[in-house]
C-alpha cells in the first residue's frame, strides 16, 4: 500500500489523541507524520509508534511541506481558517468540526454508508456529527431495504462529547462540586441541551442530526426530528430511533438486514438481558444495535436502540476510515 505524509491538527485534544491510537491500531500506511495544535500546546511531545513527535504550532505555513492528508479536530474556527489553506496546498483535509458539513462543495461521509461521495471532494471532506454517524450505520441498510419515510431520534449523549471539560464536570459533579462546562449539574441529571439553541427552539445538535441525515442518505426532503440529551455517562452515545418505512415488512427481514450490515453488531437477546450498553461499546469501533421491535402504533414502523463510542466511531475512527479510502483511491 502507498505510504502517505499525514498531519494531525488538534493532536493534543480528546479526539486528537484518539486519532493517534486508531492510526496505530489500524496500521495506517504513514511515511512522514506531523502533529499540530495551537501555540498553547506547541513543544509538547506525543508518542506515536514508539517514537516521540514534537507538537508544532499550526500556522499559514504548516502546509508548505508535502502533506497528503490532514486529519483536523481543532474546532470550527480553526477549520474555517486553515482547512482551505491546506486544500490550496494539495492536502486532502478530513475535518471533524461542523464548519464544512453542510457546504454543497464538501462531501459528508460515513464509509459504510456513502463511500462513493469521497470521490467528488475538492480538498475537504467532512466527518459527520457523532450522533449522526452511528445512526447512519444502522439506518442505511433499512433505507435500502424498505425506504425510510420518517425518523424520530432521541439521544442519550456522553459527556466526552464536550471534551475534557465535559468529562471533568461529571467527575467533579459526582463529588458534589458545581459544573464549569455545562449550564446545570450533569451528575444525577439529564440536560435536554447540547450545543446552542436556535430560533426554531431546537438545539444546533438536533438540527445537525436532521440536516446531516438528509445529506448522507441523499434524501433532501426526508422527515426527521430529534431531541438530544446529555446524560451522566462518560463514554458512548446511546440513541432511541423510531423509523417509519414506505413499505410493509416482516420483522425477520429487519434482523437480517441489520446482521449483514457493515460496521454494525446486533446485540438483541432480551430473554438474557442482552442489549447494547454504553459501557460495552466504549473503546470499540463498531456500532451496536438492539431492542429491535415493531412500532405497533403505525403501519410500517420499528423502534431500535443504537450505541457507539462517540470519540471512536463518532469521530476518530470514522475519519481514519475516510483517510484509508483516500489512500486506496490514490493507488
Ligand atoms: O477542545 P477544542 O477547542 O475542540 O480543541 C481540540 C483540539 O484542537 C486544538 C486544541 O489544541 C485541541 O488539541 N486547537 C484548538 N484551537 C486551535 C488552533 N487555533 C487548535 N489547534 C490549532 N490551532 P490546543 O493546543 O488549543 O489545546 C491543547 C491543550 O490545551 C487544552 N485546552 C484546549 N482548550 C482549552 C484548553 N485548556 C484550557 N482552556 C481551554 N479552552 C487542551 O486540553 C490540551 O491540553 P484538553 O482539554 O484537550 O486536555 C486537557 C488535559 O487532558 C489530557 N488529555 C486530553 N485528552 C486526553 C487526555 N489524557 C488522556 N486521554 C485523552 N484522550 C491532556 O494531556 C491535557 O493535559
Ligand atoms: O458537531 O456531544 O461534532 O457535545 C460533537 C460533540 C457536537 C456536540 C459535533 C457533543 C459536536 C457533540
Cα 279 to ligand 2 centre (Å):
19
The model's confidence at residue 198, banded by pLDDT at 50, 70 and 90, is: very high
Cα 66 to ligand 1 centre (Å):
26
The reply to whether 193 belongs to the active site is no
Among protein residues, the one whose CA lies closest to atom 62 of ligand 1: 14
pLDDT digits 0-9 by tens, 71-104: 999 999 999 999 999 999 999 999 999 999 999 9
pLDDT digits 0-9 by tens, 24-70: 999 999 999 999 999 999 999 999 999 999 999 999 999 999 999 99
CA distances to 39, 92, 280 from 168, in Å:
23, 34, 21
**Using a 6 Å cutoff on CB, does residue 14 contact ligand 1?**
yes
Rounded Cα distance between 182 and 161, Å, is 12
Which of 130, 184, 193, 272 is catalytic? The answer is: 130
pLDDT for 123: 98
The reply to whether 190 belongs to the active site is no
Q: Which ligand is nearest to the CA of 167?
A: 1
Residue 127 exposed, middle or buried by CB count within 10 Å (0-12, 13-18, 19+): buried
Rounded Cα distance between 249 and 302, Å, is 10
Residue with cell 438486514: 257
Cα separation of the two ends of the chain: 8
**Hey, which of 10, 13, 40, 86 would you mutate to test ligand 1's pocket, going by the most ligand atoms within 8 Å of its Cβ?**
13
**CB of 235 within 8 A of CB of 309?**
yes
Residue 80, SS3 per DSSP: helix
2: Cβ contacts below 8 Å, ≥ 6 apart: 29, 327, 330, 331
The model's confidence at residue 321, banded by pLDDT at 50, 70 and 90, is: very high
pLDDT digits 0-9 by tens, 136-184: 999 999 999 999 999 999 999 999 999 999 999 999 999 999 999 999 9
**Using a 6 Å cutoff on CB, does residue 85 contact ligand 1?**
no
Residue 252, SS3 per DSSP: helix
**Using a 6 Å cutoff on CB, does residue 97 contact ligand 1?**
no
pLDDT for 283: 98
Among protein residues, the one whose CA lies closest to atom 10 of ligand 2: 161
pLDDT for 263: 98
pLDDT mean across residues, the chain: 98
Alpha helices in the chain (DSSP H): 14-25, 76-88, 130-146, 163-174, 204-217, 251-260, 278-281, 317-330
pLDDT digits 0-9 by tens, 219-278: 999 999 999 999 999 999 999 999 999 999 999 999 999 999 999 999 999 999 999 999
**Atom number of ligand 1 nearest to Cα 75:** 4
Which residue from 10, 69, 116 is spatially nearest to 323, judged by alpha carbons?
69
**Using a 6 Å cutoff on CB, does residue 325 contact ligand 1?**
no
Cα 311 to ligand 2 centre (Å):
10
Which residue from 165, 177, 159, 297 is spatially nearest to 232, judged by alpha carbons?
159
Which residue from 137, 230, 131, 126 is spatially nearest to 188, judged by alpha carbons?
230
Cα 34 to ligand 1 centre (Å):
17
pLDDT for 2: 87
The phi and psi torsions of 261 (rounded to 5 degrees) equal -70, 135
Which of 89, 184, 237, 272 is catalytic? The answer is: 237
pLDDT digits 0-9 by tens, 104-132: 999 999 999 999 999 999 999 999 999 99
DSSP symbol at 108: B
pLDDT for 331: 77
Cα 128 to ligand 2 centre (Å):
10
Amino acid at each position: 500500500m502507498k505510504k502517505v505524509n499525514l498531519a494531525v491538527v488538534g493532536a493534543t485534544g480528546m479526539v486528537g489523541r484518539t486519532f493517534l491510537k486508531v492510526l496505530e491500531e489500524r496500521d495506517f500506511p504513514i511515511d512522514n507524520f506531523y502533529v499540530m495544535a495551537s501555540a498553547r500546546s506547541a513543544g509538547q511531545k506525543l508518542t506515536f509508534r514508539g517514537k516521540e513527535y514534537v507538537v508544532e504550532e499550526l500556522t499559514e505555513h504548516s502546509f508548505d511541506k508535502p502533506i497528503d492528508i490532514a486529519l483536523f479536530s481543532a474546532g470550527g474556527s480553526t477549520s474555517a481558517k486553515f482547512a482551505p489553506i491546506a486544500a490550496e496546498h494539495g492536502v486532502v483535509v478530513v475535518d471533524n468540526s461542523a464548519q464544512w458539513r453542510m457546504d454543497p462543495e464538501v462531501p459528508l461521509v460515513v464509509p459504510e454508508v456513502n463511500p462513493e461521495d469521497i470521490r467528488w471532494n475538492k480538498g475537504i471532506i467532512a466527518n459527520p456529527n457523532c450522533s449522526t454517524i452511528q445512526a447512519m450505520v444502522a439506518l442505511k441498510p433499512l433505507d435500502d431495504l424498505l425506504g425510510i419515510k420518517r425518523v424520530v431520534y432521541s439521544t442519550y449523549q456522553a459527556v466526552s462529547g464536550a471534551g475534557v471539560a465535559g468529562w471533568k464536570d461529571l467527575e467533579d459533579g459526582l463529588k458534589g462540586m458545581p459544573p464549569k462546562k455545562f449550564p446545570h449539574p450533569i451528575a444525577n441529571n439529564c440536560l435536554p441541551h447540547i450545543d446552542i439553541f436556535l430560533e426554531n427552539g431546537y438545539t444546533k445538535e438536533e438540527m445537525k442530526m436532521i440536516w446531516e441525515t438528509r445529506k448522507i442518505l441523499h434524501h433532501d426532503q426526508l422527515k426527521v426530528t430529534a431531541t438530544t440529551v446529555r446524560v451522566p455517562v462518560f463514554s458512548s452515545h446511546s440513541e432511541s430511533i423510531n423509523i417509519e418505512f414506505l413499505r410493509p415488512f416482516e420483522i425477520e427481514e429487519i434482523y437480517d438486514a441489520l446482521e449483514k450490515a457493515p460496521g454494525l453488531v446486533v446485540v438483541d437477546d432480551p430473554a438474557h438481558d442482552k442489549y447494547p450498553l454504553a459501557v460495552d461499546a466504549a473503546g470499540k469501533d463498531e456500532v451496536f444495535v438492539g431492542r429491535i421491535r415493531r412500532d405497533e402504533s403505525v403501519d410500517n414502523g420499528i423502534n431500535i436502540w443504537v450505541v457507539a463510542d462517540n470519540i471512536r466511531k463518532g469521530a476518530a475512527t470514522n475519519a481514519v476510515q475516510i483517510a484509508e479510502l483516500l489512500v486506496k483511491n490514490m493507488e
